[in-house]
């Protein structure tokens, strides 16, 4: 099959996630896979680089799977705030139509709404091909400016109503898209997949610990991911002095970058925690299993917001796949699938995060039990190759249905 994935993030710089792994696995199964993305506004060569309206096409090596490749199609846009998305609305329409026609696309997997969701659905209808929507987030909640929430909310509702299939990664997201006017008969669950060859308890991390200046006796509390405002790390950092007071060997390692990075770095210095907190910035995806395996516990202190309420962050399952206990705030979307300790998770309010961090760091038996149950759950339910095969079956079925 010729499969087109459409998103509105930068394929090359976005943290590796569901889009990368599923598209690359389908490529490895022998399908021709094309991805349309939205290049980051930050990718300016100089102050006079105002962009181009031309579309670029290039072969891209896999990011989740290095031995695979996809064809990346990158529509041009004007590199000026606000005009970037406005111009992309038109350039994406042209690029999507040209791709459907020239590449003889059989089916589209859509991840996005405001930048190119409308174009995808209208063009798919014009050319008689199905659109499968992959729901992994509350999309209007991710829009930085609340001024644009009503418009994005309306587009989101319209997209869910008009796509041919919706695959969500949690039961809560199933309920969410149905509330947003999706046809219940078209909604199904496709869990988040984990590469169990990469993420498992057997990955060695001694060299990484040494490079970070960590001793073998240090107890590492780990966070991996984009540092969104809702990450809760600012609140947790304020409590970490209490953890260090109780357990001087405790180290907090934060892997990732984003809106909070500068603020966290400054606050670490103000709190006198420079010896106990390490901020690495973004790191290559390939070393994530090493970071996880050097930790004692992994954390997800997300605030409960419109953007986080229904979701299950992919990193949670990567943590569990490595046999690590996870301390997390009780996001309803997570609880709907991962119901606590039998799944390797210890839920806590953010106010009690420090207290429960100490509890887990001091109790090796609880850590061991949580780690083992979490590992077994992910091994049995989240093998990404099996889930990609299920996606493949769904795409074939929808394509054949449209050809009848």
pLDDT digits (tens, 9 = 90+) for 278-331: 999 999 999 999 999 999 999 999 999 988 988 899 999 999 999 999 999 999
Summarize pLDDT for 73-101 with one digit per residue, the tens. Answer: 999 988 888 788 889 989 999 999 999 99
Residues 217 and 305 reside in one and the same domain:
yes
251 with 221: CB under 8 angstroms? yes
| Residue 200 within a domain | no
Of 181, 178, 179, 199, the C-alpha closest to 189 is 178
Residue 52 pLDDT level (bands cut at 50, 70, 90):
confident
What is the band of 45 on the pLDDT scale with cuts at 50, 70, 90?
low
Average pLDDT over residues 1-7: 97
Tell me if 231 is assigned to some domain.
Answer: yes
- Assess if residue 214 is contained within a domain: yes
Tell me the whole-structure pTM to 2 decimals: 0.87
How many structural domains does the chain have? 2
**Strand blocks (E) in 159-198:** 165-168, 187-189
Across residues 105-114, what is the average pLDDT? 94
41 with 107, same domain: the answer is: yes
CATH of the domain at 272: 3.40.50.2000
State the DSSP H helix or E strand holding residue 277, giving kind and residue range, or none if neither: strand 277-281
- What pLDDT was estimated at residue 140? 66
Q: Of 68, 56, 58, 57, nearest to 23 (Cα)?
A: 68
395 and 362 in a single domain? The answer is no
- Do 292 and 303 have their domain in common? yes
**Residue for token digits 């290039």?**
58
- Indicate the helix (H) or strand (E) that contains 222: strand 219-224
Element (H, E) at 52: strand 51-52
198, part of any domain:
no
Strand pairing report for 77-78 and 51-52: antiparallel
Same domain, 265 and 128: no
Q: Average pLDDT in the 364-388 region?
A: 97
**82-86, long-range: CB < 8 A, 24+ apart:** 84/41, 84/51, 85/114, 85/115
CA atoms in the 13 A half-sphere facing the CB of 256: 19
**How much is the pLDDT for 35?**
97
Residue 311 lies inside a defined structural domain of this protein:
yes
Same domain, 303 and 348: yes
Q: Indicate whether 393 and 375 sit together in one domain.
A: no
Asked if 158 and 264 sit in the same domain, the reply is: no
Q: Residue 290 is encoded by which pair of tokens?
A: 């090493």
Burial class (CB in 10 A: 0-12, 13-18, 19+), 123: buried
Domain of residue 105 covers 2-193+384-403
- 12 and 150 in one domain? yes
Rg of the chain, C-alpha, whole Å? 21
**Does 81 map to a domain?**
yes
11 and 98: one domain?
A: yes
Query: Does the pLDDT of residue 146 top 70, yes or no?
Result: no
- List the one residue out of 325, 279, 278, 293 whose CA is nearest residue 205: 293
pLDDT tens-digit profile of 250-283? 999 999 998 999 999 999 999 999 999 999 999 9
pLDDT of 47 above 80? no
Judgement on whether residues 307 and 242 belong to the same structural domain of the protein: yes
- Indicate whether 343 and 399 sit together in one domain: no
Is 199 within a domain? no
163 is a domain residue = yes
């Amino acid at each position: 099959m010729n499969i087109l994935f459409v998103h509105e993030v930068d394929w090359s710089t976005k943290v590796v996630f569901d889009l990368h792994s599923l598209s690359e696995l389908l490529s490895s199964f022998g399908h021709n896979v094309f991805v349309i993305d939205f290049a980051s506004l930050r990718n300016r060569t100089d102050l006079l680089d105002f962009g181009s309206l031309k579309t670029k096409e290039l072969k891209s090596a896999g990011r989740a799977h290095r031995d695979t490749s996809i064809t990346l199609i990158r529509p041009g846009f004007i590199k000026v705030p606000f005009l970037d998305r406005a111009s992309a609305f038109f350039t994406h329409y042209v690029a999507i139509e040209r791709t459907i026609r020239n590449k003889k696309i059989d089916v589209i997997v859509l991840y996005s709404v405001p930048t190119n969701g409308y174009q995808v659905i209208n063009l798919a209808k014009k050319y008689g091909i199905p659109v499968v929507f992959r729901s992994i987030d509350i999309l209007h909640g991710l829009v930085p400016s609340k001024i644009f929430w009503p418009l994005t909310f309306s587009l989101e509702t319209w997209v869910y109503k008009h796509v041919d299939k919706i695959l969500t990664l949690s039961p809560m997201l199933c309920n969410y898209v149905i509330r947003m006017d999706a046809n219940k008969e078209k909604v199904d669950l496709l869990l988040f997949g984990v590469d169990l060859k990469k993420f498992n308890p057997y990955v060695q991390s001694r060299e990484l610990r040494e490079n970070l200046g960590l001793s073998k006796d240090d107890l590492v509390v780990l966070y991996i991911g984009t540092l969104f405002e809702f990450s809760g790390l600012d609140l947790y950092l304020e409590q970490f002095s209490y953890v260090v007071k109780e357990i001087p060997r405790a180290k907090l390692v934060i892997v990732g970058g984003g809106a909070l990075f500068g603020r966290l770095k400054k606050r670490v210095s103000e709190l006198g925690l420079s010896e106990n907190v390490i901020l690495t910035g973004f790191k290559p995806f390939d070393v994530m299993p090493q970071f996880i395996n050097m930790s004692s516990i992994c954390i997800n202190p997300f605030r409960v917001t419109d953007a986080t309420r229904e979701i299950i962050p992919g990193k949670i399952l990567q943590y569990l796949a490595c046999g690590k206990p996870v301390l997390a705030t009780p996001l309803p979307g997570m609880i709907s699938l991962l119901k606590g300790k039998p799944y390797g998770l210890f839920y806590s309010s953010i106010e009690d995060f420090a207290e429960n961090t100490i509890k887990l760091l001091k109790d090796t038996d609880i850590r061991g039990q949580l780690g083992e149950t979490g590992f077994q759950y992910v091994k049995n339910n989240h093998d990404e190759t099996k889930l990609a095969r299920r996606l493949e079956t769904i795409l074939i079925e929808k394509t054949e249905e449209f050809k009848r």
